Structure 1
Amino acid sequence: MTEKKVFYALATVFIAVLCTVGGATLFLLPYPQAGEGLDVSFETLPSEEIPAVVDAALTPPDPPVPPDRAPDLSGAVAGDVATVRSLTDGAPRYYLVPLTRDGGAVAIARVYLRDDGGPKIGSWTLGADDLTAWRRPSLADAEDALRSAGYRDGNWTARWVEMNSEQPIGPYFWEFGKETGETVYVGYDRYDDWVRVYTTVTPKTKAGG
């Protein structure tokens, strides 16, 4: 039985292992708990508020790229847009634009900002339109992790953030901000196949730096 299967097999047991890694509080999470009073909203922008970003997401690449790297954009429409912000300076790093056609998923476009501030398409995640599951963990799994770590009430806002961190969850992970000002980070550790919850994260130090 793999670690992941064991993780979900503990359906009636709650165990939180608390330790300190690099000065940050870390919860190693077993089975996610359901329900209770946690209220999470996902931070997005209406597509009409950032038309230049949406236009970039809907513009076919020039020069053209192979079909396995870019979707057919004919007839596609954009939904609400998520901002991936840098955790070091708070600036937008990417915009994630969900594209659909006739109610079906086309792609998630990742649009970045050039040095002059103009948007430019970076890449597409083909066949996807769920911004909350753009990377692991999904928002639903991240919420379960919060509950398992003891965060079971209050109003929280979830947003994608980017940082190469000393903790093994970068470069993309979730930042949860509570209305009281508390902040918690949830990300997927691909090395141990584990969802981790941190109260703080720190930028990764370059080798020799």
Structure 2
Amino acid sequence: MDEDECDRMYKVILVGDSGVGKTSLLMRLCKNEFKSSMTATLGVDSHTKTLTVEGQPVTIQIWDTAGQERFRSIARSYFRRADGVLLLYDCTYENSFLNVREWMSAVEDGAGRDLPTMLCGNKLDMRETSAKYGKRCVSTEQGKKLANETKCRFLETSAKLGTNIDECIHDLAKMLLKAEDDEKQQLAFQLTGEAPPNVNNGHCCHGSKSTS
């Protein structure tokens, strides 16, 4: 096995409505920083995160896209080059949750295929207080139900407190590894007509089983 196969790199598109906390989540993930006031992303920005998944180095290049309608055509041009999706909604703002399916459709249309997707209900730390003030919030059960229906992974996150930030990118990385390994196995089967050896048997590059 070639040495470079042990260093995986994937491109992930970060999408969701404007104001759901995409940039804040990215800053917490990549720099462990949080600012209460963030300037809205204009167009597309990118950051890189390197992590270890089951002993294997994985590099994730994350494209932070603008959520405003006028920038969505710019974001869509990046979908076809993406390997995975980090899709955020604000669990204290129901409309951002209702728009999740629209974002999923936009990504699928742009990419031309299904992509491994992590669905995150962000601003978890604010939900209880927001609900007390009468805001229509999104429950954990609603998020889980949508994730099950759309075959996504799901976590609730707080960029402010750092809740589940590392976990969401780690789980997405595991999905990306598995998707790549499955694609390699399928290609090998198409070329040879025989199932390839199990990539999990002692090699440095291996995927992990996906669980919902």
Q: Same fold (TM over 0.5)?
A: no
Q: Normalised by the size of structure 2, how large is the TM-score? A: 0.25
Structure with a larger share of its residues in strand: 1
